[in-house]
Structure 1
Amino acid sequence: MAQRASAAAVPGFNSLGLDDRLVEALGALGYEEPTPIQREAIPPLLEKKDLIGQAATGTGKTAAFALPLLHLLAGREGKGGGPFALVLVPTRELAMQVAEAVHKYGRALRASVLPIYGGQAYGPQLRALQRGADVVIATPGRALDLAKGGKLKLDSVEVVVLDEADEMLDMGFAEDIEAILHETPAERQTVLFSATLPPRIAAIARRHLTDPVKIKIAAEQAVAGTTAKVRQTAYIVPRGHKLATLARVLDVENPTSAIVFCRRRNEVDELAESLSVRGYRVEALHGGMTQDQRTRVMKKFRGEASDLLIATDVAARGLDIQHLSHVINYDVPAEPESYVHRIGRVGRAGREGVAITLAEPREHRQLRSLEHATGQKIEIAKVPTIADMRARRLELTRASIREAIVAGELDRYRVVVETLAGEFDVVDVAMAAVKLLHQSDSNGEQDADEIPDVEIWDRPRRDDRPRPGNPRDGRGRPARGGGEGRGDMSKIYVGAGRAAGIRPQDLVGAITNEAGLTGGQVGGIDIADRFSLVEVPEDLVESVIAALRSTKLKGRKVTVRRDRAAE
């Protein structure tokens, strides 16, 4: 049997009954304490109970189901040839993200983890399945294809997790999920996580879960007026560009004093080191530091010997910093109440404060829950360009020169100016001096490359989305929502139809996985015997065509172009 963690392990996690190797792995990864969904979900899952968890993206759901299934895997006797656990997720990106997390948590257990998803050749996935995998993380379409072909054995599965269940249904995977669940053993443990629980999700739960434990992590509402003085802004950026984005935002905002919040303490150390190299006065603060170290850090920060404090929520609790002008969320907070608490640190005593959040593209929906918690709109801003950054630095240079002129005491520099003024125009001399000052204060402009814009479309409200059994329109396609937020739509021609086994969910899944659209952005779908027509936003037609041309549908390349009948 797996042993429980010792009292010296990570506080909070060691009380949940997890294998000590998992708790040690969490400590090494920099996690300091469980989130609410983890505290509520892990104990019943360790008891092999079915569970329905309702919580927003980014609240720590991956660890909430991954840690218990790894714990149960460690105590499993007589491992069979097939996977122990199957995790179904809506997109390729999430499959890779979850697989990476499970691998990190279970490295000490030597758990083998395999992501399988559409858009990748079957060969490597088939060979990996033949070698064996303890945990398979899959998109529903590819999982069903492999299961039907006898390549993905489901009779050994003891745990099934439906992650982001509402998202999977929005993308048309309801039938696939039902078929997969019917192929798994009836006595399995089934876990369902979803941001919302519409009737379709409730129906699946009634059919496939047995006496489930129900957990709902509700958003905490802000006290009226507490965030009125805080300007709230978010930047949507790919994870690989977060550091460069943060550096640019800091240059443009030029905060008097700021706290940058991270989720994990090793992320705090890495970010503090990276920003120090870029010329910022930075201090790190997290639960892995001794009390003396934390005291020294806070003394420097309160004494304005440093401008930035990179911290975890746990380490920053109870801190009262009067001169704080900015709070920056390097990651979207796991809980709306954490966001409310963080931004409440600025804008005090009638002063205006700034709260900035860096969100990854798949986290944009979570920003809505933060808006709901604060009762205020979060502005989605474009990442500052190199030109914006240089303009801001010139503005700061001009301000510095003005302050120097007002302060006086410039006589010792007069000889330099007068000597050069005899040879050059005095304006040219001044511009050269400004250039040198600007260059010396530019932090080297390490971020020479532009950061890609990520266009986020608001999907229709859930009440407007298609439901099973909806009436079909006159052309035989499923009636969809009102198209709220889609704008002008155009059709693309896909050279595969019913004869090739193409289903609406195949097309929606390919477009959302390969082109990065949401299910709500995909419009009407017509499937004929030899071809299909799909409506997508006009502004995104070319990117969708390019993405679909680079992938395969049902294992083969297909013709993709604009529908000529619409031209």
Structure 2
Amino acid sequence: MDDSAIDDSAIDDSAIDDSADNGTADIATFGDEAPGEEEPVEDLPSEGEPAFRDLGLHPALVEAVEALGYEQPTPIQAAAIPVMLEGGDVLGLAATGTGKTAAFTLPMLHRMATSDRAPDGRPRGLVLVPTRELARQVGRAVRRYGQRLAVRVLEVYGGASIGYQWKQLQRGVDVVVGTPGRVLDHLRRDNVDLGAVEVVVLDEADEMLDMGFQDDLEAILHATPGGHQTALFSATFPPRLVDVARRHLHQPARIEALPSSEQERPDIREVLHVVPRRLKAAALARTLILESPEAALVFCRTRADVDELARLLDAEGTRVEALHGGMGQAERDRVVARLREGTASLVVATDVAARGLDIDRLTHVVNFDVPEVAEQYVHRIGRTGRAGRSGVAITLAEPRDRRRVHAIEALTGRRLPVEPVPSADDLRTARLERLAERVLEAVTADSDALDPYRAVAAELSEALDPVDVAAAALQALAIASGEHQSEVEQIPDEAFAILRRQPGRSRHPRSHGGAGPGSDAGGRPRGGWTRLYISAGRDAGVRPGDLVGAIAGETGLSGRAVGAIRISSGYSLVDVPSTEADRVIRALSRTKIRGRKVKVRRDRAAHGR
């Protein structure tokens, strides 16, 4: 499916503005295809029972679906379509990629094909979705499934001309697919009359509630006639959604199409790295070097985080695009198009900006921040591992994120495997393997293309060791292709390693003062240790990992060489080997901890001066 836009104009995590009045909307009768849109409508498998022609659908719909190459429905389609054909309400728990769009679109179109159109042109079908992009996708699916019918469909969403949409509504439409904000806008302007609606679909209902659309949904549903059929589809079922279902669904058939076993889940490898905040960007850079993703989407919590991370990655030499609600719609469209077309391979985005993205080539999803709500994790990683492909979901957690990680594990029913941040040796090995693959491909792909270089290689090999010649050529290739050591590899591996031991232990094993490595039972430094005073503490957000990471990163000392740590409100105390005390003082005095310069000296109280 195409992914040409998203619906978050002037929005991020709170504000919803769905009433912009520029651009165009999509409206067409079935069969009016936009040029160049040849993607399959949805992932409909070719195995299973029964066949589409056994479900009782109108022959024109069966012919259209089979013409698209599909014969058997997915489990949710096989369960939901008969219920909806009988007029019953449906509550569908279904993840993206299960075929839910066809599950509600086909029976809705069947109703259109087997009864008369409203004489005054009022819509008979209403599909509400959270984003502009999903509205386009569903509208496109309606056209393709119903290509042999003359049903009129209109997508309405923010960022498109409300005047154009009003004109099409006046001409008459059979199905409206839209975002709640724009549909409600049309209702308030008396542009649309929902009094003839027979079928209402709430698609990705949990996402609509997360985006703050609950009041809009209630207002829209109250404008529809009593007795209409309602279908609600959602990947999760939070309590607020339970309330919506109780109010607006009548004895619905509950249908689940969520993975119930490891074999049924998408092929997604999940990884958890536990790192201090100050090293998260470096950990991400190392991970991207190792994984070398074809296409990756990195999630951050806020717009500011997106911009800052994109800036840091760009400074590391990584080509990256930002995507958030503070950008103009046209700019966001271009970023999404580049990701889909392969001209961009890494996008850093907020959750709101990435809603509605459906890109099959996405190989990696990275949670730079652990989602605040566990359900967000499911939505995020569900964007990879599609269309039968494998995917990778990487989460960068701070020690303080332990409860959020546990909530994710409780929701998904599986532990997130904790792995160390890739080491410098890991990166070198991966880099050399990629170079070897490129050379092997060049040798085996087109031997004639090497002819101009053979004479030079032979001449050099006569004068020099052939292995040295090949090694020098590989080095030149590495430099030319960017496969050379980056700054993040210069950070000692130990700076990351200290946090690997945190899961399952006390939250801050060094942070309570008292005895510890380098301290006696009274909390004083033992012989051979020196206690340092650092002028930043709890009030500045300092945590043990920040201090260990700063010392290891700036001096090259192993994290294990750092002794007891005590963090007070306005300062911190750290025990270090006495032989290294002066070097640590000089190093920390030149750097920042939690974004601020600090004063570092020997602690007078501990050493009596």
Q: TM-score range by the shorter chain?
A: 0.3 to 0.5
Q: Which has the larger radius of gyration?
A: 2
TM-score by length of 1: 0.46
